[in-house]
């Protein structure tokens, strides 16, 4: 195979890799040297289940691809053994899966990476990994919306219970029930109710 053909093939590999880097929402670089075959398989299966792509990249090609993708500054990260985890749909998953794996496999080292088109530090990758997953965030959002509604529902139910307790026809009677006019009205009803009831019974015709 001619040297020109080899060079063209390498350029094609770099160009394809650059396109993947460019479309990635987040890419995380890690040092994998020392992992057993079983550990590497475990990691790849976990990443695949999370929808994250993962590949070992030669440092020279990684640097060229990163530059072509506009990710200048990764030269210092593409050293030693380098594996790249990336996703074009999920910003958090690559960092989260690798951090969780690294926490239980100290030999595996996260080195840095890029997110939404910008090179980021190791600390930023780790911070990204600590962001809750979308279902958790949705749950927190729904919880924050439901809490005021639940409070309102409890207040309405309390007024309804009070209506039943006091024999009030409307919630307004409960809300303003402590006004002086309302108190006087209640006193008058208590005093006059027996007489009103007798009068009502006298007016009612007896059934056959």
Angle between helices 37-49 and 93-104 (to 10 degrees): 150
Is 60:9 a contact under the CB 8 Å cutoff?
no
Q: With a cut of 90, say whether residue 179 has pLDDT above it.
A: no
**If you average pLDDT over every residue of the chain, what do you get?**
78
User: Where among 111, 131, 151 does a domain terminate?
Assistant: 131
Please give the structure tokens belonging to residue 81: 């053994």
Domain count, the chain: 2
**CA 23-27-32 angle, 5° bins:** 140
Question: Do 75 and 151 belong together in one domain?
Answer: no
Q: What is the CATH number of the domain that holds 24?
A: 3.30.70.1730
Burial 150-180 (b: 16+ CB within 10 A, else e): eeeeeeeeeeeeebeeeebeeeebbeebeee
Task: Please state the rounded mean pLDDT for residues 173-181.
Answer: 52
Question: pTM of the predicted model, to two decimals?
Answer: 0.63
User: Is the domain of 166 the same as that of 63?
Assistant: no
Q: Check whether 33 has a pLDDT greater than 80.
A: yes
Is 34 inside a domain boundary? yes
Are residue 180 and residue 163 in the same domain, yes or no? yes
Does some domain include residue 208? no
Domain boundary among 106, 131, 156: 131
The answer on 166 and 117 residing in a single domain is no
Which residue segment(s) compose the domain that 71 sits in?
3-131
| Structural domain includes residue 79 | yes
Q: Are residues 111 and 172 both part of a single domain?
A: no
Tokens 């020279």 sit at which residue? 60
């Amino acid at each position: 195979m001619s040297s020109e053909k080899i060079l063209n093939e390498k350029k094609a590999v770099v160009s394809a890799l650059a396109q993947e880097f460019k479309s990635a929402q987040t890419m995380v670089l890690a040092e994998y040297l020392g992992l057993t075959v079983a550990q590497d398989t475990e990691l790849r299966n976990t990443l695949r289940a999370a929808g994250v792509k993962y590949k070992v990249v030669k440092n020279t090609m990684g640097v060229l691809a990163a530059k072509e993708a506009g990710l200048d500054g990764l030269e210092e990260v593409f050293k030693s053994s380098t594996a790249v985890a990336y996703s074009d749909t999920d910003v958090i998953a690559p960092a989260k899966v690798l951090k969780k794996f690294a926490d239980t496999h100290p030999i595996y080292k996260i080195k840095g990476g890029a997110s939404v088109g910008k090179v980021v530090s190791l600390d930023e990758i780790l911070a990204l990994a600590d962001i809750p997953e979308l279902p958790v965030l949705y749950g927190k959002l729904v919880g924050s919306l439901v809490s005021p509604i639940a409070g309102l529902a409890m207040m309405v139910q309390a007024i309804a219970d009070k209506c039943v307790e006091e024999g009030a026809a409307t919630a307004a009677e409960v809300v303003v029930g402590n006004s002086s006019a309302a108190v006087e009205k209640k006193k008058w009803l208590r005093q006059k109710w027996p007489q009103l009831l007798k009068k009502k019974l006298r007016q009612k015709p007896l059934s056959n």
